[in-house]
Chain A
Amino acid sequence: MKMLSKITLTSTFMFLLVHATYAACGINSGSIRILANDFPAIHAVLSAAEKCAGGGVTFTKNTTKEHRTLVVAGLTANPAEFTSAVVANSSIVPLLNEGLIRPLNDLVAKHGRGLKKNQLITINGKIMAVAFMANAQHLFYRKDILDKASVGIPKSYEEILSAAKAIRAKGIMEYPFALNTKTGWNLGEEFINMYMGYKGQLFKPGTAIASVNNAKGVAALKMIKSLTEYSNPDFLTFDSNATAALWEAGKLGLATMWGTRGGTILDDKGSTSNITSNTVLASAPTVAGGSTPATTLWWDGFTIAKNISDKDAEATFIAMMNGISTEMVKANNNEAVWLIEGFVPGKASAGVFASASAGATPYPMLPYAGLLHSALGSELTEFLQGNESAQQALADVEAAYTASAKEKGFL
């Protein structure tokens, strides 16, 4: 009798314990299937969200570089293959265009009390995504190199050019500068960033007609060309991995890199302490005497699919809220520039914050921006190789863009 009651007591206790753990997330059933890009900040979020699994709640995640190829087909199916897609300014656009994600207003009202206002991505009042981190390309400089060359901290790209010239003249480095000029998406991004510094308009307002072939576009291109003259001749293969590697090997004195690289560069692996301690992250430079930093601001956030049951939608939302909780931020403070309550800005996030405070423009969330970006990335190479004029390159960009836009129904 005593034994039986002991067993009953223990098992009831265990039962309650188990249920108590499952009740931590507050979901008792549902299927959570997430598709996301593959980098550490997202891993942190998804691991925290994964804690909601168990007890009738199934959780699967797919973090892959191929997410952009899978997302539209995956969310078009009914029921959708994924209940949530983690997106950024650019990758949310096809989902919006095709109507594949649902408005989150009611879910936010019910479960999203702790969200800050600037985490909500709204279109005409409908909350379409919840953002959790920000990123931007900005300036990295080596204090010791600048001191050796007796130049001050450059605040504009013109100052960077003279700083690079001085560094080279003093024989410190032959190629002191780099930006992410790899043909393709990276090159397109650099042009857009620079063009924003000149306060250029990518499209004629209110239309999908590209308008980059103008004085500002030519100036932006020429500035990039001058900058690449201080870069290693391989610059057309430099993606963010390459520039970060160059930095950590001590081959650069100045660079424009993504803020998320800050964490990896400033840690104690892969580089010498001399380089690491002298690396400073600063706001993106301005250009041509303007006041807008020549960069674009990016956010990453999660969305909830439309073609799923409301139960799954709610379960996924709760899990993702768990994923972007303050506890997660406290445990992963330096992985990204979190927009979440509880983030303590440090050296690694200085550049992004500075750029945002200085008034940088966000990357446009326009339905056809991606097409122009792609055209820029492929057609600007020849100008940088010295094979054609800036006007010709920009004309090619507009022609390539127009052809794709016609195909997609924007023109």
Chain B
Amino acid sequence: MPHRTFIYFILPSLLSMILLIAVPIFSAMTQSLFIAHKQVIIVSETCDPFGCKKETSVDAEATANLRVKEPLGIFNGFETYTNRNHLAAAEIKTSWNVATGWKDFFSRIMNLPFYKALAFTITYTIVVTPFVIVLGFLIALGTNSLASRLKGPTIFFSLLPMIVTPLIGSLILFWMIDADGIIGSTLQRIFNDNDLSLKASPALTWIMLIVYGIWHSTPFAFIVFYAGLQTVPHETLEASMLDGASLWQQKRHVVIPYLMPLIIFVTLIQLMDNFRVFEPIVGFNASANATSLSWIIFNDLRGEDALQLFGSAAATSMLTIIGVGILLIPVLIKIWKEFNSKTV
């Protein structure tokens, strides 16, 4: 396709992405390299409904004057990335020197907020993604072989978990898994343990969040694979049947290679979305036991203490993008290879 036609076709899409995604990413990147100017603190007499006292406050005008010359702030380089709230380079070095063994070193690192979040995020991504793909594929295969009258309702029901927005879906489930709710008390009855509470133990909270993630994302894989299954060329399938291939061999050697682009697509999307998980953590009030990278950002920007840490959030966002990039490397290599083989 000539370059000019290409540009015309892709221009609106590209423009919207550049304006609304690329520019903010660039601005976040810049912001993460700066910290605020020193605030000018003065002591003043503060009176409120409960009395007067001398307290420190910020001299807004003086501070604003400092900022006029350098509105971005003081250049901090990558310090924000290596401070305790992010990669914590100094703390890791100290821990390495002080730790009494691998286990101790490991637990010291888990004490750092970023790594605690990273642990959960990676676990979540690594567990949920394959489950979603496999389950979605199996359900799509199953639905495909159903009688056509049953297909409709099955598709419909299987799509349900994806339809509800995560924030509300997880809230509903939160109410249900509470120790006094229907799922919570049923579990207590099954395991015969009155103290069993999904919210109290970190391991159980992680499992609950992972199960929720699988429940919520499987329909996506299902519908994409199902759509793809409709386009598998019948001739190839029939040819393999004539060759005496078993059902499983058919699937493995005909269907899966054919669906490979879609499988790659779903893997891509799932890896990215699972790495950015945070809505279930908020919905399930699970931040005591599980935090994720996006949750840290959420906390920095929408934390309830009214002071927004833009630089910190920007740094964590950049780290998230880098993390996603690292995760995607195997998939991207495969795409690159396929693209090259196609153009050759």
Contacts and interface: CB of A to CB of B under 8 A. Distances in A.
A touching B, CB within 8 angstroms: yes
Interface of A: 66, 68-69, 71-72, 89-91, 93-94, 96-99, 118-125, 131, 134, 182-185, 188, 206-208, 232-234, 236-237, 239, 249, 297, 299, 339, 356, 360-362, 364-368, 370-371, 373-374, 378-379, 381-382, 385, 388, 392, 396, 399-400, 402-404, 406-410
A99 B56 contact: no
Contacts, number: 177
B115 to A, nearest CB: 13
Nearest to B36: A409
B207 interface: no
B61 A99 contact: yes
B45 A124 contact: yes
B71 to A, nearest CB: 12
A97 B303 contact: no
Interface string B160-182: 00000000000000000011100
Interface string B31-63: 000011111010111111111000111101101
Given A374-B303, A400-B113, A407 B46 contact: no
Contacts of A185: 303-305
Interface stretch (B4-12, B217-225, B281-289): B281-289
Contacts of A379: 113
Contacts of A232: 179, 197
Nearest to A361: B50
Contacts of A364: 55
Interface in B283-316: 285-289, 299, 301-309, 311-312
B44 A184 contact: no
Interface stretch (B80-88, B124-132, B144-152): B80-88
Contact of A409 (B37, B46, B51, B287): B37
Interface residues of B, number: 57
B200 A234 contact: yes
Interface string B71-105: 00110000010011100000100000000000000
Interface of B: 35-39, 41, 43-51, 55-58, 60-61, 63-64, 73-74, 80, 83-85, 91, 111, 113, 178-180, 195, 197, 199-200, 202, 285-289, 299, 301-309, 311-312
Contacts of A382: 111
A99 B60 CA distance: 5
Given A367-B56, A368-B307, 19 more contacts: A94-B308, A97-B58, A118-B50, A121-B46, A122-B47, A123-B57, A184-B287, A185-B304, A234-B200, A297-B49, A362-B51, A366-B55, A374-B303, A385-B202, A407-B35, A407-B311, A409-B38, A409-B73, A410-B38
A361 B178 CA distance: 36
Given A69-B302, A407-B36, A97 B46 contact: no
B287 A183 contact: yes
24 contacts: A94-B306, A97-B60, A98-B60, A99-B60, A124-B45, A125-B45, A131-B49, A182-B285, A185-B304, A249-B180, A297-B49, A356-B50, A360-B50, A364-B55, A367-B41, A370-B305, A374-B307, A378-B287, A404-B309, A407-B35, A407-B36, A408-B35, A409-B73, A409-B74
A183 B306 contact: no
Contact of B47 (A97, A120, A234): A120
Given A96-B57, A233-B200, A385 B38 contact: no
A92 B37 CA distance: 20
A114 to B, nearest CB: 16
A96 B200 contact: no
B199 A124 contact: no
Contacts of B305: 90, 185, 188, 370-371, 373-374
